[in-house]
Structure 1
Amino acid sequence: MEHIELFFKSIFIDNMVFATFLGMCSYLAVSKKVSTAVGLGAAVIFVMAITVPLNWLLDQYILKEGALAWLGAEYASYDLSFLSFIMFIATIATMVQLVEIVVEKFSPALYNSLGIFLPLIAVNCAILGGSLFMQSREIASFGLALNYGVSSGIGWFLAILAIAAIREKIRYSNVPAPLRGLGITFIITGLMAIGFMSFGGMLTGGDDAPKKEKETAQTEQVVPAEENALVENTKEINE
């Protein structure tokens, strides 16, 4: 259940684009065509699916306070968390370089269409944000870290795919001159973000229900106890 909840929450509720507005540079620049948006989105999913779990391992076994205890008791007090940014970015840059080599080898057309934005995945704040959110949310296991990386990548992929499809259509629409280009794109992005916010009740509602049931049960237990105490006090007064 925890894996399913994290998967859907990362895609719809905590979407990298619509909830935190990360990765907007690539999102706006490469979303003019669906074909290029699909290619970049797939590359982002691949990079996040690898870098988030790898960075989780780095954080758990090297960077966080006490992570080096596996080397011996004398290393248990070491805290290398100040190296998080450097290590995370190094991991991301390595994976992006691998993706660039693979895309150039097997799809030269996609490589040329993505241009400079393919190597710029290395500095895409959505990629780094995935690793930092993983660290701040204290994800407990490697499986959850892999789940979070894949689902966050899918969320970013859906966002850029949706805006690319819309931008291809609005080319033939009568958009007012001051709003053409990035203006209408930002407006549509804001409306899509509002739409994605509506998914918030999909998981939070289920979490609140058990709490309400528990509170109701506790209230039902307290009320009879108060009634019994009142009856006993009344009897003592009458006597």
Structure 2
Amino acid sequence: MEHIELLFKSIFIDNMVFATFLGMCSYLAVSKKVTTAVGLGAAVIFVLAITVPLNWLLDQYILQPGALSWLGSEYASYDLSFLSFIMFIATIATMVQLVEIIVEKFSPSLYNSLGIFLPLIAVNCAILGGSLFMQSREIATLGLATTYGIGSGIGWFLAILAIAAIREKIRYSNVPPALRGLGITFIITGLMAIGFMSFGGMLTGGDEEGEALENNDGAQIETIQDNSTTNEIANNIKVID
């Protein structure tokens, strides 16, 4: 259940594009065609699915204060957290280079259409943001870190796929001249962000409703107890009279 909730939140509620506006440069530049957007989105999913759990291992067993205690008690006081950015970026750059080699080998047309934006995944803030959010939210296990990485990648993939499909359609629409290009794209992005954020009620609404029912039940019980107490007092008064 915890994995499903984290996956749902990372895709819809904490979407990299619509909640934190990370990776906007690639999101805007490579979203003119659906085919190109699908290729880049798949590459982002792969990179996040690999780098987030790898960086979780680095954070847990090397970078955190006291993480080196597995080497011996003399290393328990070491704190290498200042190396987080360097280590995370090194891991990301390695995985992006691997993705670039694979895409160039098996899909040269996609490699040519992505152009400079494929190697630029290494400096895509959404990729680094996934690892930093994983670290700041103190994700407890490797499985949850993998789930978060995959979910964040799928969320970014859905965002760029949706805007690419819309941008292909609005080419034939009567958009006002002042809004053509990035103007209408930012407006559509804002509207989609509102839609994605509305999914938050699916995780919080049930809890709030349950709490409200518990409060109402408690209030009804107290009312019944108060009424019974009042009736007992009234009966005692009648007996005395």
TM-score by length of structure 1 reads 0.91
Distance 1:152 1:196 in 2: 13
Letter of the structure 2 residue corresponding to residue 103 of structure 1:
V
Q: Alpha-carbon deviation of 1:222?
A: 6.4
Letter of the structure 2 residue corresponding to residue 143 of structure 1:
G
Give the structure 1 partner of residue 53 of structure 2.
Answer: 53
Q: For each residue in 1:134-163, what CA deviation from the matched residue of structure 2 results, as whole angstroms up to 9, or x when unmatched? A: 011111110000000000000000000000
Q: Alpha-carbon deviation of 1:20?
A: 0.5
Listed as ranges, the matches of 1:35-50 within 5 Å are: 35-50=35-50
Give the structure 2 partner of residue 108 of structure 1.
Answer: 108
- The answer as to 2:94 corresponding to 1:94 is yes
Distance 1:7 1:113 in 2: 30
Q: Alpha-carbon deviation of 1:205?
A: 1.2
Listed as ranges, the matches of 1:1-239 within 5 Å are: 1-216=1-216
More moved, 96-105 vs 196-205: 196-205
Letter of the structure 2 residue corresponding to residue 151 of structure 1:
G
Distance 1:188 1:88 in 2: 32
More moved, 210-219 vs 102-111: 210-219
Distance 1:232 1:77 in 2: 67
Structure showing greater radius of gyration is 2
Cα RMSD between the aligned structures? 2.2
Distance 1:86 1:227 in 2: 68
Q: Alpha-carbon deviation of 1:227?
A: 7.9
How many residue pairs get matched?
Answer: 238
Distance 1:58 1:211 in 2: 40
Q: For each residue in 1:5-36, what CA deviation from the matched residue of structure 2 results, as whole angstroms up to 9, or x when unmatched? A: 11111111110000000000000000000000
Q: Alpha-carbon deviation of 1:208?
A: 2.5
Gaps of 5+ in 1: none
Taking only the aligned residue pairs, the percentage that are identical comes to: 81
In structure 2, relative to structure 1, the CA distance for the partners of 1:230 and 1:57 (3 Å cut) is farther
Secondary structure of the equivalent of 1:16?
A: coil
Secondary structure of the equivalent of 1:79?
A: coil
Secondary structure of the equivalent of 1:20?
A: coil
TM-score by length of structure 2 reads 0.90
